[in-house]
């Protein structure tokens, strides 16, 4: 028979062994077991300091989110204050007078100091009230909350379809000004 002096240390040793066994099993089966390592074919370009997936940028004024941009991939150059974006979705919050605006694009660049965004590739702008614009590239200027492009634009809202070259769109007013070569038509039911 074991002496009571040895029972306590033996129980403590058994509990400690059980805890170590459980921790080993959890760590072994954990998907986060090791940190990802860049292989030779995944190295960052020389001008890129950081590369992120699913990054968010936002502008906040007076404690309210004005817009939020989500990109599936972001390559960030700290020296130039530029973020190179891929698969972009930019959302402007609704205001008392106007609905939300959503912008999508294949690629883009975010200039942090000026809060400007240049979008390229299948750019689509859609307003909450059903207006939509399509163009190859567009620039958002943060200082005046304005989108502008010199490229051809296709605009649609309800029965109206319009094509033009060049456009300015105020986000706050949701008023668009088409610059040249304007061709509009009404689509019958």
pLDDT digits (tens, 9 = 90+) for 81-117: 788 899 999 998 887 778 888 999 999 998 877 888 9
Which residue range is the domain that position 125 belongs to?
47-186
**Residue 178: pLDDT over 80:** yes
In-domain check, residue 72: yes
**Residue 41: pLDDT over 60:** no
What CATH number did the domain enclosing 140 receive? 2.60.450.10
Segment holding 28, helix H or strand E: helix 4-29
Q: For position 154, what pLDDT does the model report? A: 92
Mean pLDDT (whole number) for 24-35: 54
Of residues 92 and 31, the one with the higher pLDDT is 92
Mean pLDDT (whole number) for 179-184: 86
In-domain check, residue 138: yes
| Res. 38 pLDDT band, cuts 50 70 90 | very low
46-61 residue pLDDT tens: 555 677 788 888 888 8
Distance separating alpha carbons of residues 25 and 73, to the nearest angstrom: 34
Q: For position 121, what pLDDT does the model report? A: 92
In-domain check, residue 182: yes
In-domain check, residue 160: yes
Strand order of the β-sheet with 146-157 is 50-61, 64-77, 82-92, 101-111, 116-127, 132-141, 146-157, 160-170, 175-186
153-162 residue pLDDT tens: 999 988 888 9
In-domain check, residue 181: yes
In-domain check, residue 14: no
**Residue 172: pLDDT over 90:** no
How many domains are there within the chain? 1
CA 123 to chain centre: 14
Question: Which residues make Cβ contacts (< 8 Å) with residue 156, sequence separation at least 6?
Answer: 131, 132, 162
Question: Which residues make Cβ contacts (< 8 Å) with residue 42, sequence separation at least 6?
Answer: none
In-domain check, residue 134: yes
Among residues 108, 58, 51, 90, the alpha carbon closest in space to that of 74 is found at 51
In-domain check, residue 131: yes
What is the chain's mean pLDDT, rounded?
Answer: 79
């Amino acid at each position: 028979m074991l002496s009571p002096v040895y029972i306590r240390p033996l129980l403590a040793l058994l509990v400690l062994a059980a805890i170590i066994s459980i921790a080993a099993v959890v760590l072994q089966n954990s998907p986060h077991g090791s940190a990802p390592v860049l292989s030779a074919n995944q190295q960052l370009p020389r001008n890129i300091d950081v590369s992120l997936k699913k990054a968010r940028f936002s502008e906040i004024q007076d404690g309210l989110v004005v817009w939020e941009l989500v990109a599936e991939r972001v390559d960030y150059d700290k020296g130039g204050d530029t973020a190179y974006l891929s698969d972009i979705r930019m959302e402007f919050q609704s205001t008392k007078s106007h609905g939300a605006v959503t912008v999508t694009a294949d690629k883009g660049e975010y200039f942090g100091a000026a809060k400007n965004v240049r979008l390229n590739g299948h750019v689509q702008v859609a307003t909450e009230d059903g207006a939509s614009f399509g163009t190859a590239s567009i620039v958002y200027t943060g200082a005046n909350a304005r989108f502008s492009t010199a490229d051809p634009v296709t605009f649609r809202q309800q029965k109206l379809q319009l094509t033009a070259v060049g456009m300015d769109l105020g986000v706050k007013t949701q008023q668009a000004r088409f610059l040249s070569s304007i061709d509009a038509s009404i689509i019958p039911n």
